[in-house]
Structure 1
């Protein structure tokens, strides 16, 4: 919804898998999906713990590449690992830095129990460090989320802010439709909160790692001073500690009965019009194939082709097919209001808060719901 600039992206999109760059277009053979899924289910349900013996956590492949480009010594890599393990512990013995240990965060045995659950239920997809590069990740499309940048799509907050624990819990409870992320509603509230704490722990650790590597590069290759480490940890923690301040709430939420045919028709005009420009990404038929999703790529031999614009994680963008019931970030009117008003972090979906007032956003929300068959005035699909 809005004019989108095409980012500078590689010709062949790739994603991380076990530390290696694997093209998304790879034709590497995959095992029988049924056998594969059964093996995952058995591993998860039988208490299998793939992290036994992992008493430290490494640097991401991206960090290692950057350090190698800067000719970092092994001592610098070791220092960065030691700093991170000193601040955050390991997947077997985790801890939050002191600046994040307040506000009801799990500590000690509680956090250890939560990471044990993560290792059995989540790590085969999301990986030891939360990089979305677990042993199952290569077989999944879209791939599991990389928590380390600290960017989360599905939350009730303004764009590009760290999520609240409640936002992560919500995703765990309902899962993400049309992806491999299942609902964990079978778990207790305490277990879900624990997993949300682990996700936060991994995300904060990942952000601190990135900032520390950048700090080392900007510092000209000198060893990181303790004061620099403390400043980075405090800066990252501040964003997470203040997440509650960025909650997105409407001025007033209308009841479904108020959204009559006239308002839905106005939402349709907004969708196709120049003010909201939703069809630029979601398409004339609402199938998610609008022209702004694609960009022209010229090969070295001069041949030109179209590729999908990549999101922050390097994944080809696929805007929602709005005709299908079920939305990845939730299907309630308030969920869609937040997606339309502030956009989706890390994606090409922009917010419409500057172009539309609240009433117009609600008209768009109910137009979308009606097209998906989730409103009485919409076609039953």
Structure 2
């Protein structure tokens, strides 16, 4: 077992890995021999809810996302979870254990496969809520666990493992999913092999080797990924995630996985998205429920109350309000909250979510498109040091990552100051601004990659978005050119325009 883990982690390391990275890979192998928790963990905010609310949130997460051994996800989330798609051709309610399906194009073995009915999500929710209101069995719940007992390819007849409930939504044209979530199973296996020792079972960035690493492995549960091609308010795209896994993140312990097959890479990307969606769902529920019904809220209600009878009255009324909320409001909040999250992930894969420069990159040594009296690099330096961009406040006048913000106590979102001077990310980890003279670009070294870092900021960090705000696209290209010039500043003076060229039109070069 030890040799297998060590080999996997050394093979995962990039060819130019530092000795320290290789040591961490070795520690990952050693940690792989320890007993590793194999269930999803719930975050601390869930555990701060009142017991009844905590159980409700946990049940929602288990129902929607399963476990590492049996991962599942609602079909409306944009994850390639894997399934054999079938379509009902005919259904006779008098024969509730039979379905006729349209011809299946490929020769597949359907017998024994789990069957899922792909109803419109809102129609399915309405059926469940109506059953609850009328205190009747939920016909949607009765569909759980149905498998295909037999299949006749010639007639298209499916024989089911149990009878279907009386449900109007079951009709010709309805799509079915046989063997749903099988790609999530495959993705979980690959994630466990290649990612879990750093990112943890739940994607919380707390794998057994995480304590040896700085910066810390990404915690997926907020749904925030730093380096994206999408807008500042958009989720990460599927292509962005794959790019990170293929290329790695230079200057960190995140290696390149170029040696994996394209199929394996896609499976890992899907599973990472799955973990992020599960984590975001939990976070959304914590906000919606915890705003009124966590332990601290009740403690605040009881603060200063000493009479036992009054304490009991306040507690009883508080729990009655909570139980009414959980019964009446919570189901709709949980369902539509997940639909909204799914929509946000869908939007991130739309072409219009991707950030492109509105103008080509200016030639670094030619006239600036923003100020033709200067070279692009010259103007970039002025912007870098100036008040509109204020790059130097974090990155320092010389780009060494030693700006004055690194020596000041910063504010926490919930109030008060951090105890350690300097910047912090959304996970409260200390964050050193990039040393721009190192020639290492974590989010990609193409000019368009650096443009996007400035235009949309770096999500989850204090690096703000400048695009469409304090800087024009032409100015951003000047800053890009200056930033990419900084590693060579000691050996190459800042280029200046001859006086005759200062008024000429700016030259451009390829964005890529």
Q: Which runs of at least 4 in structure 1 moved beyond 4 Å after TM superposition?
A: 32-36, 41-44, 48-51, 104-107, 255-261, 376-379
Q: Does 1:228 align with 2:228?
A: no
Q: Does 1:364 align with 2:472?
A: no
- Runs of at least 5 residues in structure 1 that lack an aligned partner in the other structure: 1-31, 299-303
Q: 1:59 aligns with which of 11, 35, 42?
A: 42
**Aligned counterparts, 1:1-381, within 5 A:** 37-41=25-29, 54=38, 56-64=39-47, 66-67=48-49, 72-73=50-51, 75-101=52-78, 104=80, 106=82, 108-218=181-291, 220=293, 221-222=322-323, 223=326, 225-243=330-348, 244=350, 245-254=352-361, 259=366, 262-296=375-409, 307-353=421-467, 354-373=469-488
Q: 1:325 to 1:242 in 2, by over 3 A?
A: same
Is contact 2:457–2:465 with CA below 8 Å preserved after alignment?
A: yes
In the TM superposition, residue 236 of structure 1 has moved relative to its aligned partner by 1.4
CA distance in 1 between counterparts of 2:435 and 2:22 reads 27
Say which SS state the counterpart of residue 421 (structure 2) adopts: strand
In the TM superposition, residue 177 of structure 1 has moved relative to its aligned partner by 1.2
- Runs of at least 5 residues in structure 2 that lack an aligned partner in the other structure: 1-19, 84-180, 294-321, 368-373, 412-417, 495-512
CA distance in 1 between counterparts of 2:354 and 2:475 reads 20
Q: 1:184 to 1:262 in 2, by over 3 A?
A: same
Is contact 2:364–2:375 with CA below 8 Å preserved after alignment?
A: no
Q: Name the count of aligned residue pairs.
A: 330
CA distance in 2 between counterparts of 1:98 and 1:219 reads 31
CA distance in 1 between counterparts of 2:346 and 2:34 reads 31
CA distance in 2 between counterparts of 1:59 and 1:159 reads 28
Q: 1:83 to 1:180 in 2, by over 3 A?
A: same
Is contact 2:364–2:376 with CA below 8 Å preserved after alignment?
A: no
Q: 1:349 to 1:378 in 2, by over 3 A?
A: farther
Over the residues paired in the alignment, what is the CA RMSD in angstroms?
3.0
Compare relative contact order (CA 8 Å, sep 6+) and give the higher one, 1 or 2: 1
Say which SS state the counterpart of residue 269 (structure 2) adopts: helix
Q: 1:194 to 1:84 in 2, by over 3 A?
A: same
CA distance in 2 between counterparts of 1:101 and 1:33 reads 34
TM-score (norm: length of structure 2): 0.59
Q: 1:313 to 1:106 in 2, by over 3 A?
A: farther
